Amino acid sequence: MKRITVEELAGGVQDLPSLPAIVMELLASIEQEDVDISVLAKKVSYDQALTANTLRLANSSAYGLQVKVTTIQQAITYLGFQRMRNLITVAAVGGCFPSGRCPGFDDKAFWRHSIATAACARALARRMRFNQDIAFTAGLLHDIGRLVLVTGHPEAYGDVLAWRAAHPAEWREAESAVLGVDHVDAGLALAAHWNFSGTMCQAIGFHHAPDTPGAGFLATIVHVADAIVHALDLSGEKDDVVPRLSNVAWDAMGLNEEAYLHLFRETETQLGEMSAILMV
pLDDT digits (tens, 9 = 90+) for 14-33: 777 778 788 888 888 877 77
CB atoms within 10 A of CB 2: 12
Q: Which of 18-27, 181-190, 195-204, 212-221 has the lowest mean pLDDT?
A: 18-27
Give the model's pLDDT for residue 278: 56
pLDDT digits (tens, 9 = 90+) for 30-54: 777 777 888 888 888 888 888 887 8
CA–CA gap between residue 113 and residue 105 (Å, rounded): 13
Query: Hey, where are the domains in the chain?
Result: 17-96, 101-280
Give the model's pLDDT for residue 211: 95
- Taking Cα atoms as reference points, which of 99, 110, 88 lies closest to residue 41? 88
Chain centre to alpha carbon of residue 230:
14
CATH for 101-280, options being 3.30.160.100, 3.40.710.10, 3.30.70.20, 1.10.3210.10: 1.10.3210.10
CA–CA gap between residue 174 and residue 1 (Å, rounded): 12
Residue 93 has pLDDT above 90, yes or no: no
Q: How many CA atoms lie within 13 A of 196 on its CB side?
A: 23
**Cα pseudo-dihedral 66, 277, 244, 2, rounded to 10:** -170
DSSP code of 143? T
Give the model's pLDDT for residue 29: 80
Rounded to 5 degrees, φ, ψ at 182 are -135, -175
- Please give the C-alpha separations between residue 173 and each of 76, 131, 192, 214, in angstroms, as whole numbers: 42, 31, 23, 23
CB atoms within 10 A of CB 121: 32
Give the model's pLDDT for residue 271: 82
What is the pTM (predicted TM-score) of this model? 0.87
**Cα pseudo-dihedral 61, 240, 143, 125, rounded to 10:** 60
Residue 139 has pLDDT above 90, yes or no: yes
Helix axes 81-94, 48-58, angle to 10 degrees: 120
CB atoms within 10 A of CB 159: 17
Binning pLDDT at 50, 70 and 90, where does residue 280 land? very low
SS3 content of the chain, % helix, strand, coil (to 5): 65, 0, 35
